[in-house]
Structures are given as C-alpha cells and as structure tokens.
C-alpha cells in the first residue's frame, strides 16, 4: 500500500475543511428565482408583482444565504491527530467536539446525491456511549473516517 494514500501511516494528521458544495443550495435558489424573474417578465402582460418578488429575493435572500454558507465554510474543520478527533462546525452557533478515538465506536461517510456526483460528504460518528454526531459538507470525510476506524482497529488488535 502506498504510504501517501493514508495520511495516518505517514504520521500526518488527517484533516478536512468545507467542500464547495456547501454553496449549492444558494446557487439553486439564485438560479430558480432568476428563471422566475425572466419568466414573469416575458408574460403578456408582464407579471410585475412576481417579477418584483423574484428581484427582492435575488437582492436580499440570496446574499444572506451566500454569507451564511461562507461563514459556515470558514468555521467547518475536522482533524484526527494523536488519539483524539477535534471537530468544529456551525454558524451562528459554533460547536466544538473533541472525542478520544477510543470513545468513537464507528465513523462513517454519508453522501447526498449531489455529493456523490460532485464530491464531499458528511461524517457520521457513533460514540461508544451511543451518541450520534453528523458533520455535513466536509471535503474529505473519508480520510477522517478511515483514520478513526484504523486507529480503533489497531487498538482492538493490540
């Protein structure tokens, strides 16, 4: 096996930040209301109320969604170093999670349809105490999950 394929085997911590798909909902809203705006403009007579609503959404809601996604992306990070996993996520309420690897029963990667197509995914953690955590929109959740599960396998084998 190639040593660079698994960051943990080379001594480097496994790290991940936000994936660009965190911006996809904003893009979908922007495109949808752009289409609605032009559709309302081309009707005979023009649907001025619908056109005004679409323009208001483009001017107010889309920038709010974009700034929220940007701030979420700046906060989101996950790292497995040593015998602990440190994860930060959330905006406006920032959450921090630090778990010993021994306290994690299972780490899995979950992907939506868009994430299967474009990349990225969510990290699902199940603690030894039964607590569940889902950290969405990570760029490399498979590296984090593999590092956690590999450390648990080594611990169980010892």
Per residue in 72-109, pLDDT (tens digit) is 999 999 999 888 999 999 988 999 999 999 899 999 99
Domains in the chain, number:
2
| Full domain range(s) for residue 39 | 21-72
Residue 24 and residue 116 in contact, taking contact as beta carbons nearer than 8 Å: no
Tens-of-pLDDT digits for all 158 residues of the chain?
A: 333 445 445 567 889 999 999 999 999 999 999 999 999 999 999 899 999 999 999 999 999 999 999 999 999 999 998 889 999 999 889 999 999 998 999 999 999 898 899 999 999 999 989 999 999 999 999 999 999 999 888 877 76
pTM, full prediction:
0.80
CB neighbours (10 Å) of residue 35? 11
Distance of CA 112 to the CA centre of its chain: 11
Residue 83 sits in the same domain as residue 137: yes
Strand ordering across the sheet containing 14-17:
14-17, 77-81, 84-89, 95-100
Residue 49 sits in the same domain as residue 90: no
Domain membership of residue 16 (yes or no) is: no
CA angle 148, 149, 154 (to 5 degrees): 100
Q: Which of 81, 135, 85 is nearest to 110 (CA)?
A: 135
Residue 84 sits in the same domain as residue 152: yes
How far apart, in whole angstroms, are the C-alpha atoms of residue 70 and residue 64?
10
Domain membership of residue 7 (yes or no) is: no
pLDDT at residue 22, rounded to an integer: 93
Residue 14 and residue 79 in contact, taking contact as beta carbons nearer than 8 Å: yes
135: exposed, middle or buried (Cβ count in 10 Å: 0-12, 13-18, 19+): buried
Residue 77 and residue 17 in contact, taking contact as beta carbons nearer than 8 Å: yes
**In this structure, what token pair is assigned to residue 30?**
């922007």
Residue 31 sits in the same domain as residue 102: no
């Amino acid at each position: 096996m190639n040593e660079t394929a698994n960051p943990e085997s080379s001594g480097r911590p496994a790290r991940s930040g936000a994936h660009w798909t965190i911006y996809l909902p904003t893009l979908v809203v922007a495109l949808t209301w752009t289409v609605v705006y032009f559709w309302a403009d081309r009707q005979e007579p023009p649907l001025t109320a619908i056109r005004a609503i679409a323009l208001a959404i483009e001017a107010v809601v889309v920038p709010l969604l974009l700034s929220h996604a940007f701030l979420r992306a700046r906060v989101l990070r996950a790292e497995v170093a040593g015998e602990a996993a440190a994860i930060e996520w959330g905006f406006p309420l920032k959450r921090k999670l630090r778990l010993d690897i021994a306290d994690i029963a299972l780490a899995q990667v979950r992907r939506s349809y868009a994430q299967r197509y474009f990349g990225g995914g969510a990290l699902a953690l199940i603690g030894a105490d039964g607590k569940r955590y889902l950290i969405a929109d990570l760029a490399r959740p498979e590296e984090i999950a593999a590092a956690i599960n590999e450390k648990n396998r080594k611990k169980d084998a010892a």
